[in-house]
């Protein structure tokens, strides 16, 4: 087992928005040991790095990334740690695709994450942003998260993590390695039925077939950002090839040649309109990465 190195990589290929300039180096470690070796090396050379999951909640700027990009695609194991009649404890590595984990849960008849059906990205990204929908959240099933902090691997138990709405509470983690998840035993039929219902709901209300980064803004307390954007008359607004979706106003779509600068411009336009209409300051949910220099 080694490590794959890719040089001069256009990041748009790694983001669901299909936007993002170049990174000089992308590293794909094939094992946790390799990853820890890479982190040691980067630390000793004082080279900054960022971790990218499925790139489904990020806007990578047009000037690209100065940092080394680490992708954990190969760290995608799911192991059963403990099991009894009611519950199953799993350890899932951060690079596991969230939907591949959900397929596993469906096969095994395990309940707890059905509402996350259809959310792209990795388990690592879902933990960092506490991804959720339909009253389900990633952190609901977490018992502990394994992270690298200050160069050391730590298993942090749930009660020490200050998570909340779209906040995993893992900001001081340099890398999220994986998590212990507790799921309830159920029948494959019931789990499958719920997953199907949530996916149908998602298909009806979100432009899931088009390039986007999911919700651009967080919901202000007690309100829906999408609704405010819609009521402020922003649906269909554009900057270049970026458009406020007509299906769900909190999704901005890349119509093909969209750029990060257009995306940021449209975010500003929408924030201004919503503020003028409702005196509400929208806060970004997406993570903006990189430099603006072309
Ligand atoms: C069509 C569509 C629908 C969506 N629907 C939803 C929804 O219903 N609910 C919802 O919550 N989200 C939704 N999203 C947003 C997105 O899919 C989730 O936030 C997802 O969990 C992000 O995971 P990711 O692996 O793609 O993270 P990325 O976008 O790659 O990264 C997000 C952040 O996490 C950090 N990160 C990722 N992995 C690690 C790691 N292992 N260690 C340290 N840091 C890491 C990155 O540095 C970055 O800051 C949707 C997105 C799309 C495109």
CATH number for the domain spanning 262: value is 3.90.78.10
What's the gap in Å between 106 CA and the centre of ligand 1? Answer: 21
Is 122's C-beta closer than 6 angstroms to any atom of ligand 1?
Answer: yes
Residue 220 inside a domain? The answer is no
CB 29 within 8 A of CB 95: no
33 is catalytic: no
Domain endpoint, select from 40, 56, 71: 71
Domain endpoint, select from 139, 174, 205: 205
Is 178's C-beta closer than 6 angstroms to any atom of ligand 1?
Answer: no
Q: 237 and 201: one domain?
A: no
Of the candidates 114, 215, 234, 271, the residue annotated as catalytic is: 215
Domain containing 252 equals 225-289
What's the gap in Å between 85 CA and the centre of ligand 1? Answer: 32
Q: 258 and 181: one domain?
A: no
pLDDT at 139: 97
Q: Which helix (H) or strand (E) holds 158?
A: none
pLDDT at 36: 95
Q: 139 and 200: one domain?
A: yes
Distance of CA 84 to the CA centre of its chain: 31
Residue 211 inside a domain? The answer is no
User: Best substitution site from 20, 48, 57 to test ligand 1's pocket, by max atoms within 8 Å of Cβ?
Assistant: 57
The CA distance from 74 to 99, in Å, is 15
What's the gap in Å between 59 CA and the centre of ligand 1? Answer: 11
The CA distance from 229 to 196, in Å, is 28
Q: Which of left, alpha, beta for 118 (phi over 0: left; psi -120 to 50: alpha)?
A: left
* Beta-bridge partners for 27: 5, 70
* Residue 71 in tokens: 């992708």
Of 25, 24, 23, 33, whose CA–CA distance to 5 is shortest?
25
Nearest CA to ligand 1 atom 36: 125
Q: 87 and 160: one domain?
A: yes
Q: 49 and 160: one domain?
A: no
Residue 16 inside a domain? The answer is yes
The CA distance from 271 to 288, in Å, is 16
Q: 163 and 106: one domain?
A: yes
Is 54's C-beta closer than 6 angstroms to any atom of ligand 1?
Answer: yes
The full 3-state SS of 48-108, as one line of letters, equals CEEEECCCCCEEECCCCECCEEEECCCCCCEEEEEECCCEEEEEEECCCEHHHHHHHHHHH
Is 179's C-beta closer than 6 angstroms to any atom of ligand 1?
Answer: no
User: How many structural domains compose the chain?
Assistant: 3
Q: 180 and 111: one domain?
A: yes
The CA distance from 26 to 23, in Å, is 7
Per residue of the chain (294 residues), what is the pLDDT tens digit?
688 999 999 999 999 999 999 999 999 999 999 999 999 999 999 999 999 999 999 999 999 999 999 999 999 999 999 999 999 999 999 999 999 999 999 999 999 999 999 999 999 999 999 999 999 999 999 999 999 998 899 999 999 999 999 999 999 999 999 999 999 999 999 999 999 999 999 999 999 999 999 999 999 999 999 999 999 999 999 999 999 999 999 999 999 999 999 999 999 999 999 999 999 999 999 999 997 554
Residue 210 inside a domain? The answer is no
209-231 per-position pLDDT tens digit = 999 999 999 999 999 999 999 99
Q: 131 and 194: one domain?
A: yes
285 is catalytic: yes
7 is catalytic: no
pLDDT at 2: 82
What's the gap in Å between 154 CA and the centre of ligand 1? Answer: 22
- Residues in CB range of 6: below 8 A, 6 or more apart: 25, 26, 27, 28
What's the gap in Å between 16 CA and the centre of ligand 1? Answer: 10
3-state SS assignment for residue 239: strand
pTM (2 decimals)? 0.96
């Amino acid at each position: 087992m080694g490590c794959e190195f890719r040089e001069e990589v256009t990041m748009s290929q790694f983001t669901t928005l299909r936007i993002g300039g170049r990174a000089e180096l992308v590293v794909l470690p094939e094992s946790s040991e390799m990853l820890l070796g890479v982190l040691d090396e980067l630390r000793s050379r004082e080279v900054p790095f960022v971790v990218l999951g499925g790139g489904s909640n990020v806007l990578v700027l047009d000037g690209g990334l100065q940092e080394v990009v680490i992708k954990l695609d190969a760290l995608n194991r799911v192991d059963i740690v403990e099991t009894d009649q009611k519950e199953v404890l799993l350890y899932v590595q951060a690079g596991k695709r969230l939907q591949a984990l959900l397929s596993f849960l469906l096969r095994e008849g395990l309940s707890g994450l059905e509402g996350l059906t259809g959310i792209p990205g990795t388990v690592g990204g879902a933990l960092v942003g506490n991804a959720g929908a339909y009253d389900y959240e990633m952190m609901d099933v977490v018992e502990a998260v394994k992270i690298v902090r200050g160069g050391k691997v730590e298993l942090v138990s749930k009660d020490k993590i200050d998570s909340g709405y779209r906040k995993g509470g893992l900001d001081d983690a340099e890398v999220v390695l994986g998590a212990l998840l507790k799921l309830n035993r159920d029948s494959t039929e019931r789990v499958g039925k719920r997953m199907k219902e949530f996916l149908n709901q998602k298909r009806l209300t979100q432009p899931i077939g088009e390039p986007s980064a999911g919700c651009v803004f967080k919901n202000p307390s007690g309100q829906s950002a999408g609704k405010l954007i819609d009521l402020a008359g922003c649906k269909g607004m554009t900057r270049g090839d970026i458009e406020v979706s007509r299906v769900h106003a909190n999704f901005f779509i890349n119509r093909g040649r969209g750029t990060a600068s257009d995306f940021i411009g449209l975010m500003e336009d929408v924030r201004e309109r919503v503020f003028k209409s409702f005196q509400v300051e929208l806060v970004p949910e997406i993570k903006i990465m990189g430099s603006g220099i072309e």
